[in-house]
Structure 1
Amino acid sequence: MTGRLRTAGWLAAVLLAALNMRPAIASVPPIVDAVRDALGLSSSAAGVLTSVPVVCMGLFAPAAAWAAARWGTGRTMALALALLAVATTVRPLAGVGVLYTATVLAGVAIAVGGALMPALVRSRFPDRVGPVTGLYTTALISGALIGAGGTEPLRAWLGDSWRAALAIWALLAVLALVLWLVVRPAGPGALSPAAGPAVAGGWSPWRDRGAWMVTLYMGGQSLLYYAPLAWLAARYTELGWSAARAGGLLALFSATQVVSALVAPALARRDPRPAIVVSLLVAVACLGLIGVAPLAAPELWAALLGVGVGANFSLALTVVGQIAPTPADTPRASGMAFFVGYLLAAAGPVAVGFLHDLTGGFRAPFLALVGFGVAVLAFGWAAGSAVKERSVPIAFRIGTDRSQHA
């Protein structure tokens, strides 16, 4: 296999793995009523099926660094894909206990796989971290869109079986695992434990101010995504829109993220700060307009909000992948960023719901998100500054690491 063909294979394997990090979560909401009725679940218990994987994405992200140090990033990703395939297959096939247990296991697999992705990209594509991050972020978002949009049609095609509609997504994970094992996309260095030398004395993101700024930016921009994801449609149904029309706004919000997530990292190759500032300002402005003038141009507000949060997601993953001193340390940085970040993000929908109950409407909650976005802007600028300051020594060490594994 030629070098160019092998690189294309590696990229395809990384993107297919990324495509698998969301369908197990996004496939449940479209058919949650059928699951609830079949198993006799309450609405709260059914909602846990969606929230548990998100919580796991935070709680178990640090385990990726431990597993990568023990088995190597490539083997650990393969194990994560295998666990995801098994968990997705078995979760709808038995009773409630198996359903919830397998959902937790799927969440663990997604947490580990997602935390390893920045390290894999940085190790294999050191000169193209931004563009490749944009590609795999687009794959992540596309996976969510495919899972959300494809599950109900699959259920109808599979004889109205919600069990088959959930289990069939395991085939996507199996395909990713097979390709992963065939092309070994992490490269020789990343397939062995501790790919590249660690920093003398042992680097810890928990004691690094720059890593903390990246972490808080990651969590803040995630909150600015999950809060409108949960409440954007409700904002408009409360204004008298039909559920279908409000759902269309949510679909538009999700679709525009694909475009901005692909483009933003390429624009931030030399300095991520301008792209971070612009994307955050766009998102914050749209949140404010949805709060105070929701009916002025709702489709435009939703589309631009998607542009802002999609760009921020890929930019956050870019700085997460670049803040550590070496590729070997990147799983530690991403583990901390996802652990703190996703747990912070999980509070967003709850806080908006609390403010809605307190004030009786959505204007105050969306304006509160504007205020929070200003703080995220400060964290994003600091995170971009930390990455820019470390860009030269990082490039040097990456070159050294790759030469040792040639």
Structure 2
Amino acid sequence: MRGRLTTAAWLAAVLLAAVNLRPVIASVPPIVDAVRGSLGLSASAAGVLTAVPVVCMGLFAPAAAWAAGRWGTGRTMALALALLTVATAVRPLAGTGLLYGATVLVGVAIAVGGALMPALVRDRFPDRVGPVTGLYTTALISGALIGSGGTEPLRDFLGGSWRSALALWALPAGLALAVCWLVVRPAVAPRGVAVAVGSDWSPWRDRDAWMVTLYMGGQSLLYYAPLAWLAARYTELGWSAARAGGLLALFSATQVVSALVAPALARRDPRPAIVVALLLAIGCLVLIGVSPLSAPALWAALLGLGVGANFSLALTVVGQVAPTPADTPRASGMAFFVGYLLASLGPVAVGFLHDLTGGFRVPYLALVPIGLLTLGFGVAAGTVVTRRSIR
């Protein structure tokens, strides 16, 4: 009975941690016009607010395995949540300098917490890695949904203050920290990330690992670019911020469905699911670029289905590309490092192209060739996983 309670407590800690790793990013795009107007930011500078955490998610991902080996996976997760709570609370309190500086700290916290998730799940749920991975992936996406859909109504409730609306996302992060610390604290000895002693495998020298990493990066870019600019695409067309934020929430909501379903459909061979999901995302990006008002809710919903499926499929192949479970932190560290650095280019590039062309048609169409490249990497990554499962 005690073992079941401990497992349930760890599951609650994992899910609460996961659900808090995205609202701090997703809460900015729905109110980006208010932030820009208040601080006098260009579209490119505003895009950096979404891009910076993604850059940090790449830069600091490899450090997570080192920290977990030193202090334990659970304690390191608690430290990441503590940093996330404090940085989220203070980032909108003063001027532009604190906003960007605290956003960097937010990115560090998300990087460490996100990179620890696969290792923490494998460490605490060795017999349920697949189901728990699906649950925490859904929690990540749900956090983005809550952040994107709830920030504008929260701002209205708080009298139009975008600063208060952003700062209040520290409260659920603090709750996740409290639960995580209660679970971690009774542990006698921290459990770290297993590293194969003497193993000479390196993902940096492995072609298969590079295919998986580039797939991870491409599909992440196709997610973060519309996350940053989907609402702005429609406010520029005359929509209210609340209505555009609702469209962004729909984009996030459909991701929950596909993130849960896609891994089950791709249990033996992920390649068909990868192809369908990417073609769906690419097609919707074209439609949002050239015909945004013909069926905006449908385009946003289908785009969400495509990127949500790709996210869960990418995490699936990342977890299987390493030759042994002990090598998984190395593979995920490389995939997050390179992948999220590539993904961080998306919001800034779309903002830059918008400033250059005066609209969003060209920026959205520019994402199409990136999607086609990602399709090639995704098929290659799926081939790796399929080949190894047959063995």
Q: Could you state the TM-score of these two structures normalised by the residue count of structure 1?
A: 0.82
**What SS does the aligned partner of 2:61 have?**
coil
Q: Distance in 2 between matches of 1:93 and 1:292?
A: 39
Match of 1:59 in 2: 59
- Contact residue 115 and residue 332 of structure 2 kept, 8 A: yes
The offset of 1:64, in angstroms, is 1.1
Q: For 1:73-93, what per-residue CA distance to the aligned partner results, in whole angstroms no more than 9, with x for missing partners?
A: 222111111111222233344
From 258, 261, 264, the counterpart of 2:259? 261
Change (3 A) 1:32 1:370: closer
Change (3 A) 1:27 1:124: same
Match of 2:121 in 1: 121
Q: For 1:258-293, what per-residue CA distance to the aligned partner results, in whole angstroms no more than 9, with x for missing partners?
A: 211122222223332222222122222333444555
Establish whether residue 69 from structure 1 lines up as the match of residue 69 from structure 2.
Answer: yes
Q: Distance in 1 between matches of 2:6 and 2:367?
A: 45
Establish whether residue 321 from structure 1 lines up as the match of residue 322 from structure 2.
Answer: no
The offset of 1:374, in angstroms, is 2.4
Establish whether residue 299 from structure 1 lines up as the match of residue 297 from structure 2.
Answer: yes
Match of 2:175 in 1: 175
- Contact residue 116 and residue 334 of structure 1 kept, 8 A: no
Change (3 A) 1:289 1:127: farther
Q: Distance in 2 between matches of 1:104 and 1:41?
A: 20
Q: Distance in 2 between matches of 1:57 and 1:275?
A: 26
Counterpart of 1:79 in structure 2: which amino acid? L
Change (3 A) 1:19 1:365: same
Q: Distance in 2 between matches of 1:378 and 1:36?
A: 37
Match of 2:239 in 1: 242
Counterpart of 2:17 in structure 1: which amino acid? A
Match of 1:370 in 2: 368
- Contact residue 54 and residue 344 of structure 2 kept, 8 A: yes
Q: Distance in 1 between matches of 2:295 and 2:32?
A: 31
Q: Distance in 1 between matches of 2:163 and 2:249?
A: 25
- Contact residue 65 and residue 193 of structure 2 kept, 8 A: no
Q: Distance in 2 between matches of 1:161 and 1:298?
A: 28
Change (3 A) 1:149 1:72: same
Q: For 1:123-160, what per-residue CA distance to the aligned partner results, in whole angstroms no more than 9, with x for missing partners?
A: 33344433322221221122122223333444454566
Moved more, 10-19 or 114-123: 114-123
Change (3 A) 1:121 1:276: farther
5 Å-filtered alignment, 1:187-226, equals 191-195=190-194, 197-198=195-196, 200-226=198-224
Q: For 1:236-277, what per-residue CA distance to the aligned partner results, in whole angstroms no more than 9, with x for missing partners?
A: 567x55355555443322221121112222222333222222
Match of 1:388 in 2: 386
Q: Distance in 2 between matches of 1:167 and 1:308?
A: 31
* RMSD, aligned α-carbons: 3.3
The offset of 1:25, in angstroms, is 2.1
The offset of 1:215, in angstroms, is 0.6
Match of 1:139 in 2: 139
Q: Distance in 2 between matches of 1:234 and 1:31?
A: 9
Counterpart of 2:63 in structure 1: which amino acid? A
- Contact residue 122 and residue 322 of structure 1 kept, 8 A: no
Which runs of 5 or more structure 1 residues have no equivalent in the other structure?
A: 394-406
Q: Distance in 2 between matches of 1:93 and 1:243?
A: 25
Which runs of 5 or more structure 2 residues have no equivalent in the other structure?
A: none
Moved more, 326-335 or 5-14: 326-335
- Contact residue 131 and residue 265 of structure 1 kept, 8 A: no
**What SS does the aligned partner of 1:62 have?**
helix
Counterpart of 1:60 in structure 2: which amino acid? F
**What SS does the aligned partner of 2:344 have?**
helix
Moved more, 19-28 or 9-18: 19-28
- Contact residue 148 and residue 248 of structure 2 kept, 8 A: no
Moved more, 276-285 or 240-249: 240-249
Match of 2:283 in 1: 285
Change (3 A) 1:176 1:325: farther
Q: Distance in 1 between matches of 2:347 and 2:88?
A: 26
Counterpart of 2:52 in structure 1: which amino acid? V
Change (3 A) 1:259 1:247: same
Counterpart of 2:54 in structure 1: which amino acid? V
Establish whether residue 5 from structure 1 lines up as the match of residue 10 from structure 2.
Answer: no
**Percent same amino acid among aligned pairs?**
80
Q: Could you state the TM-score of these two structures normalised by the residue count of structure 2?
A: 0.85
The offset of 1:309, in angstroms, is 0.6
Counterpart of 2:165 in structure 1: which amino acid? A
- Contact residue 213 and residue 379 of structure 1 kept, 8 A: yes
Counterpart of 2:168 in structure 1: which amino acid? I
The offset of 1:110, in angstroms, is 0.6
Match of 1:89 in 2: 89
Change (3 A) 1:128 1:277: farther
The offset of 1:303, in angstroms, is 1.4
**What SS does the aligned partner of 1:322 have?**
coil
Change (3 A) 1:16 1:327: farther
Change (3 A) 1:142 1:199: same
Q: For 1:151-170, what per-residue CA distance to the aligned partner results, in whole angstroms no more than 9, with x for missing partners?
A: 34444545665444333322
Q: Distance in 1 between matches of 2:356 and 2:46?
A: 25
Q: Distance in 2 between matches of 1:156 and 1:369?
A: 33
